Structures are given as C-alpha cells and as structure tokens.
Structure 1
Amino acid sequence: MTQLVLAPMEGLVDWRVRQLLSAAGGFDQCVTEFIRVSQTLFPAHVFYRYCPELHQGCKTASGQPVLVQLMGHDPDLLGENAAFAVELGAPGIDINFGCPSKTVNKREAGASLLKCPENLFNIVRAVRAAVPGHIPVSAKIRLGYADKTLFLENARAVEEGGAQHLTVHARTKMEGYKPPAHWEYLARIREAISITMTANGEIWTVEDYIRCRDISGCTSFMLGRGAIACPDLAARIKAHEAGEDLQKQCWADVLDILLAYIDLLAQDGATENHQAGRIKQWVSMMRKGHGPASPCFDEIKRIREIGELREKLQRDRENPEYQRPEEPIAA
C-alpha cells in the first residue's frame, strides 16, 4: 500500500499547514520543520513551539502521526534532545541530513554532513541509543553534497547506525531544487539497503508520482512543494491507487484552505504582516499548480493589511468562474 508523507519544509510547513493539508486527505504521516540542535538541551516549550501536536498525542487534528525532526552535528547532544522529545510524546525521531541552506551548511549541519558517511553513522547511532527501542528513528538525506559519489555509502551509514527508515531527496545539495530529480538513483539505494525507504523530489502531479514509483520502485513518497502547490495532490494520488479518478480541486476550494489558514494564524496571535506574508508565500507557490494563483498573487503581493487580503480572497471565493474545474496548466 502506498504511504504518503508530508515533507518538513522549513519556514513553510508549520503546524497550521500540517493541519490543513492532512485534513485535505491522502497523507499518512507528517514531519515537523527541523529543530536546530547546536549547543544545549532544549526546554519543553521549544519542542511545543515546533510541534504543538505533542499536546494531542503528537497527531494532527485529522489523526496523522507527526515525527519530530532534529538537525545538528553533535551526536550526543542530538541524542539528548531526541530522548527528551520522546519523553514529551514524539512517536518517532527523524534526523535531517538534507537541508541545502547555506547558513545551515556553514554550521556543519544538514547536507554538509553528507561529505563523510561516518558523520551520519555516528549521529544515527547516538540517537538510536538514546531513545527507547520501540521508538522508530529515521533519517532524510540527499544524493550527496557536491556530487553523487557517496550516495550508497551514506545510505548504508544510516542503516548501519540503526535507523529503521530512510528518506532520500533525489538531488545533491548543489543541485538544490533544480529539476530533474534523479529517481533512478533511488532504485539503486533501495536495492542496497534492507530498511524501508521513502522517495522525495519533484513530485508535482499524479503523473509525476506514477513515474517516480515506476522508476524508483518505492511504495512510500514524501510530498513537499507539490503538496503546497496543489493541496489535494495526496488525496488524488491515493484515489489513483484505488482505481478512482478524483477531480482536481477548483480554485474556490483552495481559497477555502487559504481563508482557514488566515483564521489559524490570527488565533495564534500572529502579526498582520506575518499573516499577510505567509498567505502571499503560499499563493506564490501555488502558481505551479493552479492557473488562478498567478493573477491572484499579482493582486495581493502589495497588500499589507490582512483584512483587505481576506476580503480579496473571499470575493474570489464567491466568483462562479472559480467554482468550476480548471483547465490544465500548460507544461
């Protein structure tokens, strides 16, 4: 059975987005944004800020479990923080070895650790030793840092360190998010390790999912930017697997999600500038999945007041044109 995981996109997929996208259907699991561990054992409030779902059994409102993701370079410190996250209720610990951020990589974290497989082995081993045996430990990597020379060694290091699961973003750090994703490497990794594996990278449509599945041979997939661009992508993938043809959301349905996001931001005390900025960020990313997102973004990008922005989205929501199925976006 196909498993779909919502990606931990730093600065974007917070608990609100996890709640809204998991409610849209299709996802089996979510992962928090990374918690950057560098100098200390964090107090509980830090974990609750990144993962408020800890207060509700570490599940989204729709019932999907949420793994806590940690990132850093100190094995012992990562182990201590992992153990505390589990004490607070985390059902599993994921370790980030894939973040391509320049700031992160200058501090010997994220994808910079892929330069030496021993880094991955030591960190995974420390985290595995620090948490109870029934708690799964997983890791997310890329195909390498500057090149793909160590792609198999890094995957094996994660397995040998004691992880039960591996997610692979099918590009190197230097390739960033530039297409294509190299799904053919995922098949080679899957054959070289015995632990379960999730494919990640460049899945924007159901057709992309089918190609990735066929090339990689994986049965588990992590959706990131594709799910942000089309909030119903996971549901449509699951429908396809069930032999059904689920029609793509119309723009009015997407606007309902954006309006709900504004409500969640307001309830959490976010400033108007922050609320408006997050909505613009999401609409901008939706331009790859929904045709009306482009003119919408052009109209809202200079709006600063959240009330004015909400009124604009609400007017569009009532537009009969946006309540009909969209024409496909040209490739």
Structure 2
Amino acid sequence: MLTERQLLVLQVIVDEFIHTAQPVGSRSISKKDEVTFSSATIRNEMADLEEMGLIEKTHSSSGRVPSEKGYRFYVDHLLSPFRLSKQEVRSIQDAFRDQMLEFERVVQKSAGILSELTNYTSIILGPEVFDTKLKQLQIVPLTSQTAVAILVTNTGHVEHRAFNIPVEIEAVDLEKMVNILNERLSGVPLIKLHENIFREVGDLLKTHTQNYEKAFKYLQAALVDEQPAKLYVGGKTNILIQPEFKDLEKVRSLYSMMEKENEIAHLLRSTHPGLKVRIGHENEVDAMQDCSLITASYVLGDDQVGTIALLGPTRMEYNRVIQLMHVLSGQMTETFKSWYQK
C-alpha cells in the first residue's frame, strides 16, 4: 500500500515524463507547487518506489522513469478527470455531421481525426463480417457485356463488384434477378449469401429468367466473395515522431506488424467490449511490447460491435487519450443508432 507522499511522487514522475520524455529527478519534483516536502524526503520516497518496481533508473541520467508496472498503477489508480477542449469535441462531432456519408467514409474520417488529435496511430475495425447483412442490391449495366453489382449492407457499407454478362442474358432478366434477390436475400448475412442463393432463390430464378444456368453462375461470381477484415488506419507514420522509436529495427518491426491486417483484426476482435488499456508486455505481439494499445468498442445496429484502437508509446497521455476514446466511441454508437432508426 502506497502512502500519500508516495502516490504524489509517483504521479508527478509519470506526468512529468509523459510531457517531457526526460528522466525525472528529485529537483524537478521539489519545484512542483503540490510538493511541500524536502528533496531528501523525495529521494527516500523515490528509492522506495524503485524498490517496489514502479519506477526505474536510466543508464544516462540520475533521474527516474516510470516502469510498465508504474504505468499500470497510474492508469488503474491515479488518473485525474480530464476535460477535453471545445475544439477537440467539435473536431470529433464534425466527422458525423454529414449523414449522407457511407459508413466507411465516416470511420475513415474518425480514424484521421483521432490520430491528428493524439499524434498516435489510430486503427478502427469495422463490425464482424459474420454479422454484416445485405440490405439492398443493385445491378447496373455498364456495357452490353459488363455490369457492376452494388451491395449495400445494414452497416452502411457499400461494395462495388464488376462482372461480365453473357450475351444470352437480357437486360429484363437482370431486372428480374434484382427484384427476386432483394425480396429474398435482404437481411441475410454476407457470409451466408452463397448457401442462400441456392436455397432461397435458385428455383425462382429458374422459373422467371432465361438461360438460368449461365445467369446463376455469373450471379454467384458477383455476390459471393471472401470478406476481408475492414481496417481503417490513421497516422501510421506518427510513431516516427516519438522519441522512443528512433531505433530503426524497432520501427521496422512495428511497421511490419501493421501491414498484417488480418493479424491486427484478430487482435482487436479478441478484445473484450468496453475500454481497455494494454501496456508494454501486456501486449502479446512482440513488436508492440514498447507500446501501449488502448481499445474501445462501439455498437452498430443490432448490437454489432466494432473496435477503435490507439497505438502509441507507453509514455502516453493516458487521461486525455482515454477521454478522447470515450467521446469518439460514444459518438459513433449514437450516430449509427440514429441511422438505423430511420
């Protein structure tokens, strides 16, 4: 159990190191208005905190820096309430003002704004593909032999898939197909389109369209597709401006990890709902063990869950960043909820 003085010294060290990236000595601590005890007492308390593993020495200075254990204690017990500026809140709200934007564009803007406000790397994961359902389908002929299938999902996601049209298929048959598909497949998860085309619409298409077999083949090619992870990244190069990442090998390892989108998606999907902070070696991925990863969940219609993540050094401005994540995830949830209620 830490004493009041030890709590104060630890908080000053963490706050000071977050803002300066320089080891903190007893002289710097003694200059703080809230610190009223002597430098000798400060040094004694620092020695005790070091013995507890909450702070540690650096090789190049007599000052101390927080350890991972110290950051964890700070996040769990010492974070002070933080009020975002009106400009910061407005920046987040502005991303959601245009309700004509697609889901993807809103999320891309959100990722960009979050990275700009923090100077860290933001990653937003779309909802699970298994929960994403077809809302509407359009097939738009481009030429006599090509067309684009436009799939709109219940999350606001829009996909365009080009495909060839056999010369035997008439435009009127395309129109019939679209009507049948919208009637029978609306609300079907994208991942189940393949089996539902066979089960739900095969007989209808056979009855109402000419050249059924060819039409069916090309229809499958347009609609059935492997669904990649939907990741939106902002500020990927921000990590380069952090003093902790001057080591090129460390940066190369981190960038290599960020290129593996499926692995990142798996990592974010395994995060429990709510807001979570993983510090240093609490991250299972080796390349992230000099980083902190803060994640927050947001909810789309029908309780579909996506994840917002912020990746930066362990020397994060936790109280401000956590508040930004709360505001953004809440804004996303409220906005998408209102979209679905329309």
When normalised by structure 2's length, the TM-score is 0.23
Q: Which has the higher contact order (CA 8 A, sep 6+)?
A: 2
Q: What TM-score do you get using the length of structure 1 for normalisation?
A: 0.24
Relative to its length, the structure with more helix (as a share) is: 2
| Structure showing the higher strand proportion among its residues | 2
Larger radius of gyration: 2
